[in-house]
Chain A
Amino acid sequence: MELTGAEIVVRFLKDHGVRYIFGYPGGAVLHIYDALYKQKDVEHILVRHEQGATHMADGYARVTGQAGVVLVTSGPGATNAVTGIATAHMDSAPMVVITGQVPRHAIGSDAFQEVDCVGITRPCVKHNYLVKDAGSLARTLREAFYVAESGRPGPVVVDVPKDVTADRAWYEYPAEVSLRSYNPVTRGHPYQIRQAADLILSARRPMVYTGGGVVLGDASEPLVELTRFLGYPITNTLMGLGAYPGTDPQFVGMLGMHGTYEANMAMHECDVLIAIGARFDDRVVGDPKQFCPHARIVHVDIDPSSISKTIQVDVPIVGPVRGILEELLAALGESNRRPDEAALKAWWKRIDGWRGNDCLRYERGSDLIKPQYVVEKLYEVTDGEAFVTSDVGQHQMWAAQFYPFAKPRRWVNSGGLGTMGFGLPAAMGVQFAYPDAPVACITGEGSIVMCIQELSCAKQYRLPIKVVNLNNRYLGMVRQWQEFMYENRESESYLDSLPDFVKLAESFGHVGMLVERPGDVEGALREAFALRDRLVFMDFITDQSENVYPMMMAGKGQTDMVLRELA
């Protein structure tokens, strides 16, 4: 059928099965908004700032595995979206961002609300397009979704000039999509898998280290099966939490800068490292020269450029994690070797010794609310079943340390880019995907105000999110670094003139709670989660001096950890 470009965009989204688009109207996308008005299949969510739209789409994508969809106007609409696009790019979240553009004849003329969107977003997208004619809209959008969701996922921007949305063209949903220059690997190399199986079974001090790739690749099941079959210790990165049950005895906790003592020590001492869907990020590795000095390394990853980028590996396997783990399991089963029981027993004994350090301990019985205690109580009150998003800083690390996730796609945070302001809109995206599930946003008084305007959007769509604000009146992680590395010079890290968050929440039409005593923490959480149809903003006034421990100092070795000293 013949449709206008705007109708093609909307009709395509419907035909592709898109339920929500997160957006904000403006001049260059008015034809598309008019086409949206005339239908009911695709629901548009009106955000309050384009950054919020991208984080919502991102949150939606991370818990569903489907690309989140964003629609913004040209110029400032596009530039406001850039932070969210870069956030999704760093964490490999699938997203399709449709940006309006000035009419074709005006491109390059410094027209009103014109910006080179394709140019600005080029370094922080998986791919982007400028659509030149209405006839290529459907194919371009189809490609955009395919590229965003396949291989190592990521954001794709489609920039659409306004006159293209007015032109008419023949529309048919493109059933097939193929790109001659883009063919993600669909299977790991069988020889490499056999090599990996041999190396894995030769280990005396093995370590499984998995990252966000296991979550993105829906490979949690074979990972659990593999790890239990081998009986090896396993650690997850910040992005990989939930891929392996956080309460399982084989799980030694998160690794890296704020990882557990036992995880980092076991990494340093292991003789075979099995890295799966993880990218040896600097927050995990520290100093590359001191990283896992005794280990031979297997590395499974869908992105060839992740392999031997910072750390040279011995057995690389490129391909989708799920299929590779299934084949690896089969190869291990077929081998006549078995893990070395005696060596493994001795290895676990050493690990249990490190565990005895109880590195996540903190002072109990304080008169002040300890932020760790709030997260622990949140875990109890939600039976460990909540979807949890976070912002960036100390609270993010406490969430990762004290909420042991049982399932993948339950923990949503900005690990790569570290974007403050991510938590609230991401939680909203999660709530759209799972309207009846408990969704908590663990945040701080610094981060939350960076996208606070979305409380208005949350009211409009009646999203019953529970905001857990760990309010220490400081940019806590900045203050902690200043304490450790700058002799306590608290340069610009104290947040003066904070709003009254209870009144602020109420002014947006939500429920606000102020919690100042440790004895009130659990009651407040229970009361909040009982309000199933309301957003509740809980402002927990926490101990200002609390630090995140352990801490592996940036650029140092894995064993170079600062541990908490308790009286």
Chain B
Amino acid sequence: MQRLISILLENEPGALARVAGLFSARGYNIESLSVAPTEDPTMSRLTLATNGDDAVIEQITKQLHKLIDVIRLVDLTDGRYVERELMLIKVRASEPWRDGVRHLAEIFRGRILDVAGSSFVIELTGSRQKLDAFIDALDERCILEVVRSGAMGVGRGDRSLRA
């Protein structure tokens, strides 16, 4: 099952390597990883998309907890949460695709950030599924570059992950 795990991590050199190393050493998958400092510069917030059955996910969360640099973590998929991912996608915008691409971007509420003679750069945010759907809807011959941030998430309502 797809899981989104959110982690508060000490903002120390090597802390990210401990998380990544744990996944490779124990044979777990990382589908995507996004990390940046929080309002408190001593802490980073890391969102990790992974998959596995319940026993695997339980081990992943326990093993993550064991890392001294992990302050707190939550499996967002255990409750209600909001998920977003940012994608920058460069597409061929020469004829015959130019209008079709623009139209599709509008439908997906994408913003065109850069317009050149033969290409557009489109910014799109949404759930991973929405971004996947946009890519699927495009003619694959017109995709030049796909840059995705990895999924980020936050619990809804009173669900907060704080130190």
Contacts and interface: CB of A to CB of B under 8 A. Distances in A.
Contacts of A303: 66
A127 interface: yes
A526 B72 CA distance: 58
B71 interface: yes
In order of increasing CB-CB distance, the 7 nearest A-B pairs are A305-B62, A181-B71, A127-B68, A182-B68, A304-B62, A123-B25, A305-B63
Contact count band on A: 10 to 19
A437 interface: no
Interface in B61-76: 62-63, 65-66, 68-72
Contact of A119 (B17, B55, B70): B17
B14 A118 contact: yes
Contacts of B18: 122
B163 interface: yes
14 contacts: A118-B14, A119-B14, A122-B14, A122-B21, A130-B14, A147-B68, A180-B163, A181-B72, A182-B68, A303-B66, A304-B62, A304-B66, A305-B62, A308-B58
Contact of B59 (A123, A179, A309): A309
Interface string A273-309: 0000000000000000000000000000001110111
Given A122-B17, A181-B10, A308 B55 contact: yes
Nearest to B26: A123
B68 A181 contact: yes
Contacts of A182: 68
B13 interface: yes
Given A123-B21, A182-B68, A305-B59, 7 more contacts: A122-B18, A123-B25, A130-B13, A181-B69, A305-B62, A305-B63, A309-B59
Interface of B: 10, 13-14, 17-18, 21, 25, 55, 58-59, 62-63, 65-66, 68-72, 163
B68 A179 contact: yes
A162 interface: no
Nearest to A118: B14
A126 interface: yes
Contacts of A119: 14, 17
Interface string A253-274: 0000000000000000000000
Contacts of B62: 304-305, 307
Contact of A181 (B14, B58, B59, B70): B70
Interface string A306-332: 011100100000000000000000000
